[in-house]
Amino acid sequence: MSYIEWLRARVGSRKIILVFGTVVLRDADGRILLQRRTDFSFWGLPGGVMELGETIESCARRELLEETGLLAGPLSLVGVYSHPRYDVTYPNGDQVQQFTICLTGQVAGGTMQPDGIETTEQAFFAPEEVARMGLPLWYADMVRDTLAGGEPACSPPYTSPQTEDQILAVRPFIGHDLLLAVGAMAVVVAKDGRLLTIQRQDNHAWGFPAGFCDLGENVAQTAVRETFEETGLHIALERLLGVYSAPDLRHTYANGDQVQNVGAVFRARVVGGQPKPALAEVAALRWQTPDEFLAEMPPSTWRTYFALLCQHLDSGRFVC
């Protein structure tokens, strides 16, 4: 049973956040692969829902092969698409707020063959043809951002008038079982290069402000909101650094709740507020140089933070 089948069997059609991996696949002439979907009958990009134990890249590659028969070469991050304007209600009534991570690369093998289950036909189209096809908003934005290049895309912070905790919305139905939980992390950098770090109350580990998305907000707003709630500081996001989704990013809370974390990492700066740790979650705040921060990291997380701070902080586009 797939993750989405398992989850829907418990929560029904109610709105939930799901993680999708989507690929803008291009051929040697720069044309873009589109497929006609069976559920909505419109043209779109190959992709699907992430499974427990996958990374977002392995999800995107699996879905590409299953749906189209094609393989991709190296993939790079286009952006994260989590704005409520991309919310979807499927023909069966299932409601979803997307947390879609879009990757792009060039076809590198395979035999093009629609699966006949999710895809009825497929073809490569020139960008100017794609622009005239009236793709759904989220696909159109992914294609636009792919063609534009530049830094990874993410919409500015946004929150709906009403929001709901994504975790509390499903825990009554799934108990302590493992959940793909999506969120954001903010690497807040001072003018002198020091980093805003927090010590968590539950395990006393040092890290960066982070937390889970609410239904009704996009992931950029999550980074802003969680930083203020945990530290008392207002931040402005400078850019999206990358996304994390590795299966080892699992956590079991003291009450037994299990999550596999998937999220976006932003570089940010302080624009206001007063430092005040939220004592229910945060034991202490401090500003540290990258070397000071890395010196406190255990071996299990050192490599990840080293890559983030020493390879991606100034020009990040990572997917892990």
Among candidates 99, 97, 121, 100, which has minimal Cα distance to 38? 121
Among candidates 291, 300, 181, 150, which has minimal Cα distance to 244? 181
121 is catalytic: yes
The structural domains of the chain, ordered by start, are: 3-148 (3.90.79.10), 165-319 (3.90.79.10)
Handedness of CA 116, 86, 242, 210 (dihedral sign): negative
Rounded CA gap, 13 and 90, in Å?
A: 9
169 contact partners, CB below 8 Å, separation of at least 6 = 11, 14, 15, 16, 215
93 contact partners, CB below 8 Å, separation of at least 6 = 13
pLDDT at position 39: 80
pLDDT at position 300: 79
Q: Which of 5, 118, 121, 129 is catalytic?
A: 121
Burial class (CB in 10 A: 0-12, 13-18, 19+), 182: buried
Which tokens sit at 292? 């000071």
pLDDT at position 299: 86
Among candidates 313, 297, 209, 212, which has minimal Cα distance to 261? 212
pLDDT at position 211: 96
pLDDT at position 120: 84
Rounded CA gap, 223 and 158, in Å?
A: 11
28: DSSP letter: T
pLDDT at position 61: 98
What string of pLDDT tens digits covers the 320 residues of the chain? 999 999 999 999 999 999 999 999 999 999 999 999 888 888 999 999 999 999 999 999 999 999 999 999 999 999 999 999 999 999 999 999 999 999 999 999 999 987 778 778 999 999 999 999 999 999 999 999 999 999 999 999 999 999 999 999 999 999 999 999 999 999 999 999 999 999 998 888 899 999 999 999 999 999 999 999 999 999 999 999 999 999 888 999 999 999 999 999 999 999 999 999 888 889 999 999 999 999 988 887 888 899 899 999 998 789 98
